Amino acid sequence: MSTLKKRRSLYDSIVSLALDRHKMAFISGPRQVGKTTLAKGLMADFDKSAYKNWDESTFRRLWTKSPNELKNEFDLSRANETRLLILDEIHKAKGWKQRLKGLYDELGEDLNIVVTGSARLNIFKKGGDSLMGRYLNFRLHPFSYGELQENPPLDPEAWRDGLFHQKKIELPLQPLENLLAFSGFPEPYFSASPKILRIWRQSRNEKIVREDLRDLSRLPELSQVEMLTALLPTKVGSPLSIQSLREDLEVAHGTVTRWLGYLNELFYFFEIKPWSKSVPRSLKKEGKIYLYDWTEIESPGAKFENLIACHLLKACHYWTDTGHGNFDLFFLRNKEKQEIDFLITKDRKPWLCLEAKLTDTQIDSKAVEKLTAKLNCPYVQIVFTQGIWRVQEQTLVASATHVLSGLP
């Protein structure tokens, strides 16, 4: 089934939370994750729609001269007509937020606006925001296991509580195997071709460094950044040492930190930090990194852990963006090197601990007890092996298909 026939989990929330309330919807996420496809899919719900891309020269001239002339795309005299305007990649335009504010303030009651892009939507959100109150931000991730099954996303508490009740039906393993092999990005996943995956991955990485990073930073050392991207897949799942990367690349500590910051903003990887509150002798500084495209990782265990990390981060972003609370992803590790892969927090309080294991169904009870003693939240060990479900009080060992099926 093609990506066009797969309804994204965010679709209904974008409509009900933003467009139905005449707020702009900002859709951000990694390159080639399906932002434009999702936005264009919204067109079917409107009487009249228009799509504009910054890469089109005619649109660039119009936007530079007078963005409000976009109203000529619509007949505003039709009182009951519903209208949608999609603006793709306008974050490349200088002063785009002020111009968008003017467009929205004049026409926001007459048409709905969707803005799609990657890095700069995220970057500009952190600074002074002239658009405050006029938009909602939605973060689109690659396809996940539950989304591919077209399961309706569960509320966070319903999902967590449901983990401890065994499902009567056996969930399919093949979609999970395909995710591990081809990633959750639409083109390689739905092609299911190793050749297409390799071509797609090389093209995507080149565009991230040679186009997106160049536009964002004007860095002259792009070839060295490409060397950095070649090293990062070997660092997945372990505390990241900037000093080690600095020595490998023979550059200054601050230079590596700056390059990593850019690659993070461009959705090449994400970082999770250690949770130190209520954890004796915990680490407080070094984070762990994971890639949005885990197919670059050779180690099967690290690849599976990365897939789980992406599913959990996607859930945290979805629940936060759709109003269920402020969810974040951390990990637990102490100075004795005892570790739990993931901790989900809700409103800055521990909510659920999770560990990812390919085949190991035995819990390291001493480490779990020591790290979670004061957290007061359940613990789930996720294994790739099918048919596993074993619960004791607030501790669960379960197959990945069981755990992931209810996530967005």
Q: What pLDDT was estimated at residue 3?
A: 46
Contacts made by residues 273-277, CB under 8 angstroms, sequence distance 24+: 273/330, 273/331, 274/239, 274/330, 274/331, 274/332, 274/333, 275/330, 275/331, 275/332, 275/343, 275/345, 275/350
Pairing of strands 339-346, 327-333: antiparallel
Q: What angle do CA 66, 71, 74 make, to 5 degrees?
A: 155
Rg of the chain's alpha carbons, rounded to an integer?
22
Distances in Å between the Cα of 41 and the Cα atoms of 14, 15, 33, 344, 392 are 12, 11, 14, 32, 44
Find all residues with CB under 8 Å of 267, minimum gap 6, and list them.
29, 30, 31, 33, 118, 119, 292
| Residue numbers in the chain where pLDDT is lower than 70 | 1-5, 119-129, 278-284
pLDDT tens, residue by residue, 368-406: 888 888 898 999 999 999 999 999 888 999 999 999 999
What is the value of pTM for the model shown? 0.94
Checking DSSP bridges between strand 269-274 and strand 288-291, what pairing results, if any? antiparallel
**Domains of the chain: which residue ranges?**
3-139, 145-404
- Would you say 256 and 242 are in contact if contact means Cβ atoms under 8 Å apart? yes
Q: Please identify, in words, the CATH class of the domain defined by 3-139.
A: alpha beta
Q: Which two tokens stand for residue 396?
A: 């669960």
SS3 344: strand
Say which residue the tokens 């060397």 belong to: 227
Q: Which residues of 98-132 are buried (b: 16+ CB within 10 A; e: fewer)?
A: ebbbebbeebeeebbbbbbbbbbbbebeeeeeebe
At residue 135, the pLDDT reads 94
Burial class (CB in 10 A: 0-12, 13-18, 19+), 44: exposed
